[in-house]
Structure 1
Amino acid sequence: MKSIAVFCGSSMGNDNTIITEAYALGKTLAQQNITLVYGAAKIGIMGTVANGSLENNGKVIGIIPGFLKTKEIVSEDLTELIVTNNMHDRKVIMYEKSDGFIIIPGGFGTMDEFFEITTWGQLGLHTKPIGVLNTSGYYNALMAQCKTMVDKGFLKQENLDAVVVDETIDGLLEKMNNFVPLPAPKWLDVSKL
């Protein structure tokens, strides 16, 4: 992978392990010559990941909707800054600029990005790897909920298995590099209904 989009929070949270791991992720991407694509903020976990990459000579592409672009929020040290019209366009461009996706801790916005990109994969709109960095067990409950969706028949196990999860950066990147995409989805033949 030449570029990875990282979806994460614009808040810092209160877990020092998550903060440390966010910086380490940015650093690791830089060391592996993987361009970081992210939400362009200099604050919160987003800013921490970007700093990890930038401070280790990494390339960083920030993508932000115009209404969020203020000097207080946007990092001014980015390799490239792209300003979009809205949040949806931001996600589309992040998708277009990336060979894979990593989800690290965040709030509603991060969940929105995670579920949209996994849904696009489920629908066969992309075959890029999606990884969840489960630092400090942050996503244990989310993964349990996804398992409940499978158990109750609302999600296929193969679609859940298409999301790779690991507690370590190196382990996650290895799983993503070895990712085998799902076959193209087979839809109902409406002529037989």
Structure 2
Amino acid sequence: MPTIALSGNRTDITNPIQKIRSFLLGELVSSGWEISNSYGDQIITLDNIELKIQEADAFIFMPNAQIEDIFYAVSIFVGYQTLDPDLKGKPAVILNTDGSWDLLFELLDQLEIFGTIRQSYRKFLLHSKEPKEALANLSYAARIGIPDSGRKKIISKPTLSFETPLPTVTKSKVCVFCSASMDVEDYIEDGYALGKLLADHNFGCVSGAGTTGVMGSVVQGSVEAGGWTAGSNVPHIIEIEGLPKGLSSFWLRPDIYTRMEVMIERSDAFIIFPGGAGTVQELLALLIFKQSGNPLMAGKPIVLFNRIDKKLQVPFWGKLVTLLNNLANKELFTVVTELEEIIPTLDQLF
């Protein structure tokens, strides 16, 4: 019997949503589905999300979206983008009867315009406004399958982990979350400049160990300036992106969640640079840890670089900041708008 996972938990279920949930449970069970989280008593965290994805054959995201639900949904989309084998053939439907998912959709729409999302997320996360539409979308997706993300493998065997000790002059290790797909010149230049700035100011640079886009330029900037440069990645992403040259340390992990965890564990601060769905996912994971008091994030600042996009003349992360206003304490992160502000801000926050 296939299993479908429903999002949401008891603390965020109001009466109208409880009626919707009850209706869906009846329809799904009668259609032969086994239900995961039927009572809304499970909360998704970075520690358990991989297991929840492996156990499920499909997903329905419920109204009254909370930060954990949005992290869950974005993670599913990122898995589709990166050819995660645990998501092969598993459809995802978002039931948005109350408009609580609208701000996420607005953010993802804007990231598509910026070019940091190359796939149409609406083809992967099927938007439904009514319960019957959600069931119809689920049936449709189960029948036709998941769309092709358009990405192909370029290598077959990822490298093993390796480690180089930190230089004694290193002040702290700073993790940069950013886009591996953005190829606009001024963003690439900013990425390279950030990597160089970190090295020049004796900050170690941690990243997702990507070779392309802004991420590749951050790594290159740090490496070419002689900085200690580390990163983590997973086999199925390495197979489609490869690994950058010059890394001081590399931590191979089996999935994107243990990848995020080792990057969080081995970093002292975080910079959220222009990015796509993966960068949103990573920031949400940091904020969930912060809000829950997880010791992995104790005393570790988050700096959000909200530069103006030169073409559109709007803040790159404007839609993200609006989304977070409804989800997270504003004191959990610091927003800067100029590249030159990042290093002084880190120095102040440590």
Q: TM class by shorter-chain length?
A: 0.7 to 0.9
Stretches (4+) displaced over 3 A: none
Aligned to 1:135: 307
1:143-190 deviations in Å (ceiling 9; x for gaps)? 12323x1xxxx54xxx2122101012332332233238xxxxxxxxxx
SS in 2 for 1:161: helix
Partner Cα distance (1:176, 1:78) in 2: 23
2:197 maps to 1:64: no
- 2:198–2:343 CA contact under 8 A, matched in 1: no
Q: 1:164 to 1:17 in 2, by over 3 A?
A: same
1:88-130 deviations in Å (ceiling 9; x for gaps)? 1100100111000001111111100011111111111123100
Partner Cα distance (2:182, 2:277) in 1: 14
- 1:23–1:52 CA contact under 8 A, matched in 2: yes
Match of 1:24 among 193, 210, 225: 193
Structure 2: give runs of 5+ residues left out of the alignment.
Answer: 1-170, 309-314
- 1:164–1:172 CA contact under 8 A, matched in 2: no
SS in 1 for 2:349: coil
Partner Cα distance (1:119, 1:35) in 2: 24
Aligned to 1:12: 182
Aligned to 2:218: 49
RMSD, aligned CA: 1.8
- 1:27–1:52 CA contact under 8 A, matched in 2: yes
State the one-letter code of the partner of 1:4: V
- 1:3–1:34 CA contact under 8 A, matched in 2: yes
Identity %: 30
Instruction: Give, in angstroms, the shift of residue 21 of structure 1.
Output: 1.1
SS in 2 for 1:178: helix
Partner Cα distance (1:122, 1:179) in 2: 18
Partner Cα distance (1:164, 1:75) in 2: 29
1:3-37 deviations in Å (ceiling 9; x for gaps)? 001001110243x3222111110000010111110
- 2:197–2:343 CA contact under 8 A, matched in 1: no
Partner Cα distance (1:141, 1:11) in 2: 19
Partner Cα distance (2:174, 2:189) in 1: 19
TM-score (norm 2): 0.46
- 1:164–1:176 CA contact under 8 A, matched in 2: no
Instruction: Between 44-53 and 135-144, report the one with greater CA deviation.
Output: 135-144
State the one-letter code of the partner of 1:128: K
- 1:18–1:135 CA contact under 8 A, matched in 2: no
Partner Cα distance (1:142, 1:71) in 2: 27
Partner Cα distance (1:43, 1:131) in 2: 22
Aligned to 2:323: 145
2:286 maps to 1:117: yes
**What is the number of equivalent residue pairs in this alignment?**
171
Partner Cα distance (1:62, 1:128) in 2: 18
Q: Which has the higher contact order (CA 8 A, sep 6+)?
A: 1
SS in 1 for 2:274: coil
Aligned to 1:189: none
